[in-house]
Amino acid sequence: MNHHYLKYYILLPLLLAGCAERDSNRKPHSIKEVKEALVDINKALVDRDRELIEAYISRHQLDGMQDNGAGLYYLIWGDTTGNETRVGDVVVLDYTLSLLDGTLCYSSDSTGYKEFLVGQGGVETGLEMGILLMRENQRGKFILPPHLAHGLLGDDNMIPPRSIIMYDVHLLKIIGK
């Protein structure tokens, strides 16, 4: 695993402060330098998340799991004759949401079915991406890196900051426009 991103956790406060030392001969870092450092940090974190997800897929032999190019990993199976999901549809899901280590965060059993308007937001970006690949009555497994889930902060409840999350879903119903 590549750990070069750790240097940015150490350097970032220095970059943002301009310099920890009060050396009058030392020029503060430019906005451009700070932005470049932040872009490097983000790339390193996305690469690390991808490595963790791909290791999980390999360990659990999730053959057929695909990457949509934006970072969502998905596996969909079941009835292919149902209605396709479209933006503007309301969908009803039976689901479980867990962390990559298997910790259960939420499920239909505890919170009831998840129902939302596709394209409206209010749910994880990665979940909407996955649902748009499904048909009514299909099942799917989605692995969402932090940038498609709850990001840097988590959800202030069960999902910690920068968590990779996993949805197991059954698309029960699509209610069209």
Q: Where are the alpha helices (DSSP H) in 60-173?
A: 108-111, 125-131
Instruction: Kindly list the domain boundaries of the chain, sorted by start residue.
Output: 6-59, 66-175
Tell me which residue of 36, 30, 35, 29 sits closest to 14, measured CA to CA. 29
Q: Name, in order, each residue with C-beta under 8 angstroms of 77's C-beta and a sequence gap of 6 or more.
A: 138, 139, 140
Give the mean pLDDT of the chain: 88
Predicted local distance difference test score (pLDDT) of residue 30: 86
Give per-residue pLDDT as tens, 46-94: 999 999 999 999 999 999 999 999 999 999 999 999 999 999 999 999 9
DSSP single-letter state for residue 146: G
pLDDT exceeds cutoff 70 at 3 = no
What's the token pair of residue 163?
Answer: 């968590």
pLDDT exceeds cutoff 70 at 175 = yes
pLDDT exceeds cutoff 50 at 4 = no
pTM for this model (two decimals): 0.82
Q: Which residue has the tokens 């939420």?
A: 106
**Domain at 66-175, CATH from 3.20.20.10, 3.30.70.120, 3.10.50.40, 3.40.50.150:** 3.10.50.40
Give per-residue pLDDT as tens, 115-145: 999 999 899 999 999 999 999 999 999 999 9
User: In the chain, what's the furthest Cα-to-Cα distance?
Assistant: 71
